[in-house]
Structure 1
Amino acid sequence: MPVKSITTEFGHSLPPEVPHNITFHIPGWQTARDFRKGDVAVLSKLSSVYPRFIPFGEARKLAGKILGELFADQFPKDYGAIMFVHPDCFEAARVYSAAAQFRKPEHVLEGSELKFRVVDAIGVEGEGADGKVRLYVIGFPMSKGPGVLGTWQNYGNGVSSRLAEACLKGRLEVVKWEGDGNKLENVPEPTYLQEGEGHRGLKDRIVELLKRGARDEGLAGKVGRDDVSLYPTGMASIWRMHKAMIGMGRKGKIVILGSVFPSTWGLVKESEGGMKHFGRVATQSGLFEEMEEWLEGEKKEGRGVAYLLTEFPSNPILESVDLGKLRALANKYSFPVVVDDTIGSFANIDILPEVDTIVTSTTKALSGYANVMGGSIVLAPHSPFYRDLKSTIVSKFGNEWFAADAAKLFANSQDFLPRSEILNRNALTLSKFLDAQASLPSSPVKAVLYPPFLQTHDNYKAVMRKPTKEFPTPGYGCLLAVDFESMETATAFYDNLSVYHGPHLGAHLTLALPFNDVIWGAEPGAADYLKTYGANPEQVRVSVGLESEEELLDTFKFALAKAEEEKRKAE
């Protein structure tokens, strides 16, 4: 069967190309590296982008209107802006921008360079009688953008394209208040956003999914709508969970297990108590012995753990920590366990009995159509930290997720289970093929990273959901990674892989990305450290879509043949 070619133009989104899409196709390994470096030739061709990377589209238009019309006399022409609906973004930006130890010297901002303003958008559809939405605007010199953009990227609470579009249709009014990175007091109170049917529907949908096929029906039955909170992105849910943990008085280092999403790493690394990382979670790695030794040392010094965070399974190497052993250790040393289940998803795994909090990027498989962002926190009612966490979240954070985004994601989620069946099937079929290839001496494939083919498979199987009529075969999710024996063969494979190239996972069409090299490759020493726990630079991450198995296999066989040619050249 001939391999289907990708006809989407460079920099455009996955089809169908409609407003508010969140993907962009940038074919080729070198192009991905150029994007990472901020190459103007690449950025200028983007008609779409993942919204948490940079303000884009309607969000950029709104920022330009605010700077150019409302504050033209107060912001220099070389300034950019990012916008939020919660005032704590000001403090977050001030702290982030001043973290000189984590920034290049040319990106560190002086306090006075950060300019804080407040704007009301009036007449925003769906936002009450006057339709008022209060926006907290952070202005900064574009040349020092990397020193403040992490506030948008890592915390994930920025204004969405739908909210920006709605604000642009209304009337913008200046709130008479000014501040900067040196002066921050008496900040006007937020209006927050109205919750709609989409919010309520999605909360109920998540509760329903948590109860379906539960390993412990009694525990799952205790979860109600009020135990679910929703946020603009997956990272926003992690940020709000983090703020709640700190807000309820949790002190000490934050422990990270295994490979985690880079924005999670950045958020935690630069947090108040700092981070302790344990990379290898494989069964034979000695993880729990090493952890307990470290915990005992912290205990002797009078220190505790703020909380522990891990992904299940991990992105992008798909390892699964032993959650039973982790729960026992957490009970012994009294710290909360937070698990990001985005990769395994509500369809396949039930981690509720072992955790205190579940965080999820609902942008991914739950949405499935790459046209809206969202995130959720689920609090486990049986957790000893439940009451304090819940009261902190309720008292400190209002709704920051726009109703139109919630409505779109809720609508998308209706076929989540049927889509998940196809994603599970496609990823397993592809992984079986690649695993067989890895056993051949002629193949450039070293290994396929997918839960059934890893040492930690038993840990994953231990938390799989029970089969149900609606979903008879729980599986392993849409994400896998392929390890190659050299950068040359990996590049030959990727450059000839006729799927969409770019970030994101859980979409309706297959996406690939040289994740480790592109995300971490520019950081000194990162590649060597990542190798210590299996996140190799010669690795291609694949998020399968809803295509046929035959089409996927033909596509990957063609790319693999090109990699084999490259291997023969080198021999």
Structure 2
Amino acid sequence: MVANRITTELGHSIPPEGPHTITFQVPGWDNALAFRDGDQSLFQKLESLYPRFMPFGLVKQLCAIIQEKASFPAAYGCLPFLHPASFSMAQAFAFSHHRKIAKLEPGELIFKIVDIHGVRLYCVGFPADKRPGIMGCWQNSGAGISSRMAEHLLNHTDTIIEVPFNTDAEAGQLPPPTYLPQTNAHEQLRERIFNLLIRAPVTPQAAGLRSGDIYLYPTGMAAIYRVHEAIMQVRPGPLVGLGAIFHNTYHMFRESPEGFKHFGPCDAQSKVMDGLEAYVKTQQTVSYVFVEFPSNPVLVSVDLKRLRQLADQYGFIIVVDDTIGSFCNIDVLSAADVIITSLTKSFSGYADVMGGSVVLNPSFPFYTPLKNVYQEAFHNEIFAGDVEHLLANSADYLARSATLNRNAKAVADLLQRHVGPGSAVTQVLYPPHSDTAANYTTFMRPATETFNAGYGCLLSVEFASRDAARAFYDHLQVHQGPHLGAHLTLAMNYNEWVLGKDPEDFEYHIGYGLKREQVRISVGLEEVEELVQVFEEALRFAEKEV
């Protein structure tokens, strides 16, 4: 038996708990589904929350004060942003035909602008009982203010003043934004990312890449949202998604006015590149192709080499989200026009700060027009305190990543040994165990004296039945809930939690490999022997169900 049992209470973060932690413990398969379905008894126990889900903690406290001082109606909620275009973004989201529940009427959204200690916030007000109909614009854009920024502003609420404006004005006619100052920490963080990008390259260095080609954002989703805006100025048209895509990214793309084409199956048998080529031939213009490398949560690695050839032939842009593979393990500069990374994950590694980055690659023709857009339109939206924390956390990034690679491989190999006829385990989803493994290793950084590249911290395991998956999950002595790349291991019945509420939608995702019988695992920094023992114990319960 395992000596150390998880004692973190439901609704609390993984240790050490604090005001800026971004995880929350929801132990047990059925609790996760109850949370998904809006069980208020569970919500009332939350002491921590992933900040991009909704304003929480310090951000919620600041919103309450803004609502009082700016005379919001009673029973209203508030979403504070730094960008004036957030008003039009909120309207587009709230009134979209995609809204199935709690759809707002035009007169129900209200907009107010407040200044606090030199920071201008554009605040979207909404009826609290229609929260589900608006909260997606906070989640999908990732552009809301952070808990550290809220903590800073809470010290200066006596300075709050409401800024008058014409409510019918377009975003460009609103009182101008202040945004946030860039500090020396911003430059140091860009320099750290730059050095990781050029470390142990797979192919010759990207010509002319500089730290100035790296742009920082408050979240990974904010990076994706702003890249989409920029690309649509350079090459408007429908975008294409390949394979499994993080659910907020997928939802954002699905509502793109320019159109979205998704190719779900991307395993070796799918011949997805042939299908993509046939599609782009029939389109006048494909704007860009977006791909996670490898994909969350099924860990498929698409053929980036062939994708680059198609982009060169047909003139579209390639955007690669390398969050799961991570800077230290993979080098995609020979394939990607743009690289997006959620710095919240293994780059930070301690589950207490959020951030995102965008890299514009000077090796390809779209660099110059994209760079021109960024030079004109980019404004800093990430708070200095968050940047300083990302900088501090990432100081041991390579050392931590070596442990994450080792631990994840040990767990994946253990699970793989259980795959076979009559076993509870039917498949291990992890880059080296995938039929797309060669696509990953093509972009894997060569070993150096100080670091050996691996496959990252994330894997999924598929069971012979839902009952076996539940038995495994309910007896797995690791923390359970959203997030990946943390210092402690996290498990999540991701597909059921994120996609299972809409059976019709889920059927589509099942078609390319996301199944109810899967459990996603983000391995942490524990001792490898301890982890193996924990997973062996949980497997015994899964085997009993078979």
TM-score range, shorter chain: over 0.9
Q: Does 1:81 align with 2:61?
A: no
Cα deviation code 1:523-565 (max 9, x no counterpart)? 2312221121111111000000000111111111111111111
Task: After superposition, give the CA deviation of every residue in 1:423-442 in whole Å (9 maximum; x if it has no partner).
Answer: 00001111111011012x34
User: Which has the higher mean CA deviation after the structures are superposed, 226-235 or 528-537?
Assistant: 528-537
Q: Is the 8 A contact 1:318 1:450 kept in 2?
A: yes
The equivalent of 1:65 in structure 2 is 65
Taking a change above 3 Å as real, the CA distance of residues 78 and 139 of structure 1, as seen in their structure-2 partners, is same
Deviation, structure 1 residue 396: 1.4
Q: Do the aligned partners of 1:3 and 1:555 also contact (CA within 8 Å) in 2? A: no
Provide closer, same or farther for how the CA distance between residues 545 and 252 of structure 1 changes in structure 2, counting only shifts above 3 A. Answer: same
Match of 1:197 among 158, 173, 184: 184
Q: Distance in 1 between matches of 2:310 and 2:210?
A: 27
Runs of 5+ unmatched residues, structure 2: none
Find 2:161's aligned residue among 174, 186, 193.
Answer: 174
Shift of the alpha carbon at 1:262?
0.3
Q: Distance in 2 between matches of 1:340 and 1:184?
A: 29
Q: Give the equivalent residue in structure 1 for 2:442.
A: 462
SS at match of 2:426: strand
Distance 1:172 1:5 in 2: 48
Query: What is the SS of the residue equivalent to 1:285?
Result: coil
Tell me the distance in 2 between the aligned counterparts of 1:499 and 1:244: 40
After superposition, the Cα gap between the structure-2 partners of 1:180 and 1:498, relative to the gap in structure 1 and judged at 3 Å, is farther
User: Cα offset for 1:97?
Assistant: 0.8
The one of 349, 359, 362 equivalent to 2:330 is: 349
Contact 1:33 1:518 in 2 (8 A): yes
Of 227, 246, 263, the residue aligned with 2:232 is 246
Which residue of structure 1 aligns with residue 25 of structure 2?
25
Distance in 1 separating the partners of 2:79 and 2:481: 24
Contact 1:527 1:537 (C-alpha < 8 Å) held by counterparts:
no
For 2:79 and 2:198, how far apart are their aligned partners in 1? 39
1:376 Cα deviation after fit: 0.2
C-alpha contact (below 8 Å) 2:446/2:453 kept by paired residues: yes
Instruction: Check if 1:530 corresponds to 2:530.
Output: no
| Equivalent in the alignment of 1:265 | 250
Query: Are positions 1:427 and 2:408 aligned together?
Result: yes
Cα distance per residue 1:398-421 (max 9 Å; x no partner) = 000000000000110010000000
Match of 1:110 among 98, 105, 112: 105
Partner Cα separation in structure 2 for residue 79 and residue 536 of structure 1:
38
Counterpart check, 1:294 vs 2:274: no
Residues 3-45 of structure 1, C-alpha deviation per residue, up to 9 Å, x if partnerless?
4200111111110112201011110111111111221111110
Q: Specify the alignment match of 2:302 in structure 1.
A: 321
Any residues of structure 2 matched to 1:134-283 within 5 Å, and which? 134-170=120-156, 171-178=158-165, 186-219=173-206, 222-248=208-234, 250-283=235-268
Written as runs of structure 1 = structure 2, the 5 A alignment for 1:392-431 is 392-431=373-412
Matched to 2:15, the amino acid is P
Alpha-carbon deviation of 1:182?
Answer: 9.3
**SS of residue in 1 equivalent to 2:143:** coil
Three-state SS of the structure 1 residue aligned to 2:418 is helix
Q: How many Å separate the matches in 1 of 2:123 and 2:286?
A: 34
TM-score normalized by the length of structure 1? 0.93
Q: In the TM superposition, what whole-angstrom CA distance separates every residue of 1:54-108 from its partner, at most 9, and x where no partner exists? A: 100010000000112x123xx2211000111111111110111110x2112x522
With over 3 angstroms needed to count, the CA separation of the structure-2 counterparts of 1:179 and 1:142, relative to structure 1, is farther
Contact (CA 8 Å) 2:85, 2:171: kept in 1 or not? no
**Pairwise CA distance, 1:174:** 2.5
Which of 396, 414, 429 is 1:449 aligned to? 429
Local SS of the residue matching 1:314:
coil
Q: CA deviation at 1:347?
A: 0.6
Q: Does 1:502 align with 2:497?
A: no
Q: Note if contact 2:165-2:175 (Cα within 8 Å) is conserved in structure 1.
A: no
Instruction: Indicate if the aligned counterparts of 1:254 and 1:307 stay in contact, CA closer than 8 A.
Output: yes
Partner of 2:116: 121
Aligned partner of 2:521 in structure 1 is 542
Query: Which amino acid letter does the alignment assign opposite residue 48 of structure 1?
Result: S
Distance (whole Å) between structure 2 residues aligned to residue 38 and residue 394 of structure 1? 43
1:484 equivalent to 2:463? Answer yes
3-state DSSP of counterpart to 2:141: coil
Alignment size in residue pairs: 545
User: Is the contact between residue 368 and residue 413 of structure 1 (CA under 8 Å) also seen in structure 2?
Assistant: yes
- Of residues 229-238 and 388-397 in structure 1, the stretch that sits farther from structure 2 once superposed is 388-397
Per the TM alignment, residue 180 of structure 1 is displaced from its structure 2 partner at its CA by 5.5
Q: Which amino acid aligns with 2:111?
A: F
Residues 244 and 292, structure 2, Cα contact 8 Å, conserved in 1 = yes
Query: Does the CA-based 8 Å contact 2:70-2:162 persist in structure 1?
Result: no
Q: Report how far residue 394 of structure 1 moved.
A: 2.2
CA 1:433–1:305: 2 relative to 1, 3 Å? same
How many Å separate the matches in 2 of 1:357 and 1:319?
20
Amino acid at match of 1:18: G
- Structure 1: 5+ residue runs without aligned partners? 123-131
Q: CA deviation at 1:230?
A: 0.2
TM-superposed deviation, 1:485: 1.1
Cα distance, 1:112 vs structure 2: 1.9
1:27 and 1:500 in contact (8 A); partners too: yes
Taking the aligned partners of 2:171 and 2:522, their CA distance within structure 1 comes to 43
Distance 1:327 1:237 in 2: 22
Q: Find the aligned partners of 1:268 and 1:459 in 2 and give their Cα distance.
A: 25
Counterpart of 1:280, as a letter, is P
Q: Distance in 1 between matches of 2:391 and 2:166?
A: 38
Q: CA deviation at 1:476?
A: 0.2
**SS in structure 1 at match of 2:205:** helix
Secondary structure, in 3 states, of the residue corresponding to 1:218?
coil
- Structure 1: 4+ residue segments shifted above 4 A: 178-185
Q: Superposition pairs for residues 375-390 of structure 1, below 5 Å? A: 375-390=356-371
Contact persistence 1:112–1:181 (CA under 8 A) = no
What SS does structure 2 have at the residue aligned with 1:420? helix
Q: What's the offset of the Cα at 1:341?
A: 0.1
Deviation for aligned residue 1:359: 0.2
Q: Which residue of 2 aligns with 1:330?
A: 311
- CA contact under 8 A between 1:442 and 1:564: conserved in structure 2? no
Q: Which amino acid aligns with 2:368?
A: R
The superposition leaves residues 301-337 of structure 1 with CA deviations (integer Å, 9 ceiling, x where unpaired) of xx21111100000000000001010001111110000
Matched, 1:12 2:12: yes
Task: Say which of 513, 532, 541 aligns to 1:562.
Answer: 541
Q: Supply the distance in 1 between the matched residues of 2:436 and 2:512 (Cα, whole angstroms).
A: 13
Is 2:36 aligned against 1:36?
Answer: yes
CA contact (8 A) 2:318 2:337 kept: yes
* Partner residue, 1:90: 87
